[in-house]
Structure 1
């Protein structure tokens, strides 16, 4: 239940042709407090509720608990969420033995593309594909809970 991940901006869409799965995601936050977040997510025809704890200082590690919930109930919960609902398309890309989840954001977050890689340890080594850009791990502006309240299109 401890999640270890790193985040990167993406500098090209070359990853799309290398992806093996594409998923539509809609999500909102019932709570986006910096010490804990509670998220409701629709992922194709499934729904989940997720609780995440505060990240460590480096932003690489935090508690995460997720449970599948009834889809129709999740649709109703989304109506209770804070400010902006996030819509994105997620691409799964395997590269050199690791899985990258690459999100292309839509709507109020159009223009933002973020890749995440989950690791087994904080110091785990991995190869970076050429489409991967600047690392933004630990930068709260790139947390989904942040952009649900301050969409990318509002950034200066």
Structure 2
């Protein structure tokens, strides 16, 4: 299973008015090695375990395997995760023929808002909503696994 996605910073909260769905997410990492990250996530009241492989050279594609697990198991696994739990609210926004998932981080990463779009191919065209800012695809510091270890509140020149 190949995941192709692009990531962008968000320049305003206008996306909230366009969102059709909002979900609370709490996640931790059993392994943050860039070669293979293993994530435990609670999304709303549903648990997931996800394994992601190393990104390709462009940073756009990587292997992803995800399986739904019982909520109680996800809660138990969160206690085994490396330090640095990610907390965020995910907004789903339809824009033309695509869906943007906009993550508004809280906790240690408060102030950071990132939009992701999943594509069928790396060259698939899409239109940019007005609130979409600089592209950060492939920049490791914006990976959730990195944000769990080096949260946005510790960045000095990005704020």
TM over 0.5: yes
Q: Does 1:76 align with 2:76?
A: yes
Alpha-carbon deviation of 1:72? Answer: 0.6
Alpha-carbon deviation of 1:2? Answer: 0.2
| Backbone CA RMSD of aligned residues | 0.5
Which secondary structure does the structure 2 equivalent of 1:33 belong to? coil
Alpha-carbon deviation of 1:108? Answer: 0.2
Which secondary structure does the structure 1 equivalent of 2:32 belong to? strand
What do residues 56-113 of structure 1 show as CA deviations (whole Å, max 9, x unaligned)?
0111000000000111111011011111100000000000111000000000000000
Residue 102 of structure 2 is matched in structure 1 by: 102
CA distance in 1, matches of 2:55, 2:68: 23
Residue 31 of structure 2 is matched in structure 1 by: 31
CA distance in 2, matches of 1:72, 1:36: 24
The unaligned stretches of length 5 or more in structure 2 are none
CA distance in 2, matches of 1:153, 1:36: 25
What do residues 6-60 of structure 1 show as CA deviations (whole Å, max 9, x unaligned)?
0000000000010000000000000000100000000011000000000001110
Residue 132 of structure 1 is matched in structure 2 by: 132
Residue 85 of structure 1 is matched in structure 2 by: 85
Which secondary structure does the structure 2 equivalent of 1:72 belong to? helix
Structure 1 outlier segments of 4+, above 6 Å: none
**TM-score, structure 1 as length reference:** 0.99
What do residues 122-153 of structure 1 show as CA deviations (whole Å, max 9, x unaligned)?
00000000000000000001000000111110
Which secondary structure does the structure 1 equivalent of 2:55 belong to? coil
